[in-house]
Structure 1
């Protein structure tokens, strides 16, 4: 098959969506398929390159300003650059895809590629990564309006088959876009198991001068939807029993409320904020940690799953039925707390620090659970199965 993978976010940009789309593209290519990845320009990344057996083309793009919204991080849109519509259509016409895999329902490249697919009569698989939601009522209302007036009509026109990653996404897509079992696949986030089989790149504890102190790592961009406030508000209780504990926050900080709260609570000196780090260094941070916490506002994304895979005890905040078809058992193969519950975070952290043997046991079970259900090879095979069926069904319709 010839598979076109389209995502505004793509490496070297860091983030779950970027890495998942690139990793899957590499797996598709390794399985013998021809793959073209189309994305938006980013930093000094080349306009075109070959990587992991497939071609990547980056279209000129306009970086949007940060507005302080709950999904706020650096976003670039290609449709705002003159000529990109024609460039995209020409690229796809030259490539002659059998199927398109789009990532992100509200990005312009997904819309343009979806338009192309509709005009050419090609099947589309669309993965829903980020939900347009906010705890802020005003923003939440705006996002609902955008979904109703803009995103839903576009999706109705494109008519993709959806890939939905978790229960929250399923509920959201049913309500906002009218999805159902008839037009959806329920695949989890894909985690690159091979990436965590490599030797770590550095000694994080030595580099940050942490020594043998208890270490909590929280890896991922800090945005309002992942604000780190439950972790910071749990720290006074943790510090009371472990005065030398350190918390390393890894990722770009787009929302600094957690830093201000740490100052108010007198625990700012326990925090180390590194900013974004290269993908190859991520395993080193997990290897250095005693505990990983990232998704404490209601989620369990790529960073948390990678931490579990790495063999480090990891806390998340979803329900046991979060992933359709995957059995999560709190305290056995995953550690769960209620969203935004600092007390539960403190209790869980203290319990883990007090019992290294139990911590190691749950970490091993988490790793095995992720490897069996979220491994890149497992998830990629499911995608390829769906691509094959979509292409076959489309050939019959033609």
Structure 2
């Protein structure tokens, strides 16, 4: 198959969807398929390169100013740059894709390539990574309007098959985009298990002067949807029982309310903010931690799943039915606290620090659960079967 993978976010940019799209592209290529990855220009990454068995093209793009929104990243848009539409269509015609895999429903590259596919009669799959939601009423209203007047109409033209990663995404897509079982597949987030079988790149505890003190790691970009506030507000209770506890926050800080709150509580010295780190170093941070917390505002994304896979006890605030078809058992193969509940976070952390054997058993079961259900090889096979089915259906329609 000739497969096109599209994502405005792509390595060397860090983030869950970037790593997932790149990992799937690598697996598609490893299976003998021809793969072209299309993304937006980013920092000093080359405009074109061969990596991991496939070709990557980065189109010139304009950076969007950061506005403090719930999904505020250093976003770049390619559709506004002169010549990109013509170049894109010419490049895709030369590659002659059999199927196109879009990552993200509201990025302009997804729209551009999706419209190309519609014109050429090429089957399209779109993975829904991020939901346009906010707990702030104004932002929520704006996001609903964007979905209604822009995203949904474009998707109705593209007519993709949806890949939805969790129950929250299923409910959202049914309500916002009118999806159903007839046009959707429910595949979980893909986690690259091989990445966590490699030797560690650094000694995080020594590098940061942690020693043998209890260590909590919270890894992932800090945005309003994942603001770290439940953890900060839980820390006074945690420090009362375990006064030497430190927290390392890894990821770009787009929203610094947690830092200000830590200063208000007089516990800022308990937090070490590292910023973004290379993907290769992520396993080292998880290995150094006694506990990982990230998704405490609701959900369970890539960072939490990778932490579980790594063999470190991980706390999330998801629901037991979050992943269709995957059985989650609270306290057994996952540890769940209510969203935005600092008291529950504190109790969970203290309990795990008080009982090392319980923590180790939980970590072992979490790792097995992720490896069996979210492994990159498992998820890749599910995608490839869907691609083959869509191509066969498309060929049948053309012949008739």
Q: Under a length normalisation based on structure 1, what TM-score does the superposition of the two structures give?
A: 1.00
Instruction: Extract structure 1 runs of 4+ deviating beyond 2 A.
Output: none
Are residue 89 (structure 1) and residue 100 (structure 2) matched?
no
Question: Which runs of structure 2 are paired with 1:162-173 in the superposition (5 Å)?
Answer: 162-173=162-173
| CA–CA distance in structure 2, aligned partners of residues 88 and 125 of structure 1 | 18
Q: Give the aligned partner of residue 72 of structure 1.
A: 72
| CA–CA distance in structure 1, aligned partners of residues 222 and 14 of structure 2 | 13
> 2:182 is paired with a residue of what secondary structure?
helix
Range 263-272 or range 34-43, more displaced: 263-272
Q: Aligned-pair distance for 1:267?
A: 1.2
Question: Which runs of structure 2 are paired with 1:101-250 in the superposition (5 Å)?
Answer: 101-250=101-250
Q: Give the aligned partner of residue 7 of structure 1.
A: 7
Deviation digits for residues 303-345 of structure 1 (CA, Å, limit 9, x no counterpart): 0000000000000111100000000000000010110010110
Are residue 59 (structure 1) and residue 63 (structure 2) matched?
no
Q: Give the aligned partner of residue 39 of structure 1.
A: 39
> 1:168 is paired with a residue of what secondary structure?
helix
> 1:143 is paired with a residue of what secondary structure?
helix
Q: Give the aligned partner of residue 285 of structure 1.
A: 285
Q: Aligned-pair distance for 1:73?
A: 1.0
| CA–CA distance in structure 2, aligned partners of residues 86 and 213 of structure 1 | 57
Are residue 331 (structure 1) and residue 331 (structure 2) matched?
yes
| CA–CA distance in structure 1, aligned partners of residues 87 and 311 of structure 2 | 44
Q: Aligned-pair distance for 1:270?
A: 0.4
Q: Aligned-pair distance for 1:273?
A: 0.1
| CA–CA distance in structure 2, aligned partners of residues 150 and 58 of structure 1 | 25
| CA–CA distance in structure 2, aligned partners of residues 265 and 138 of structure 1 | 29
Range 257-266 or range 278-287, more displaced: 257-266
Q: Give the aligned partner of residue 350 of structure 2.
A: 350
| CA–CA distance in structure 1, aligned partners of residues 111 and 168 of structure 2 | 23
Q: Aligned-pair distance for 1:263?
A: 1.0
Structure 2: stretches of 5+ with no match in the other structure: none
Q: Aligned-pair distance for 1:357?
A: 0.4
Deviation digits for residues 196-237 of structure 1 (CA, Å, limit 9, x no counterpart): 000100000000011000000000000000000000000000
Q: Give the aligned partner of residue 274 of structure 1.
A: 274
> 1:395 is paired with a residue of what secondary structure?
helix
Question: Which runs of structure 2 are paired with 1:312-391 in the superposition (5 Å)?
Answer: 312-391=312-391
| CA–CA distance in structure 1, aligned partners of residues 290 and 378 of structure 2 | 28
Deviation digits for residues 172-197 of structure 1 (CA, Å, limit 9, x no counterpart): 00000000000000000000000000
Deviation digits for residues 114-140 of structure 1 (CA, Å, limit 9, x no counterpart): 000000000000000000000000000
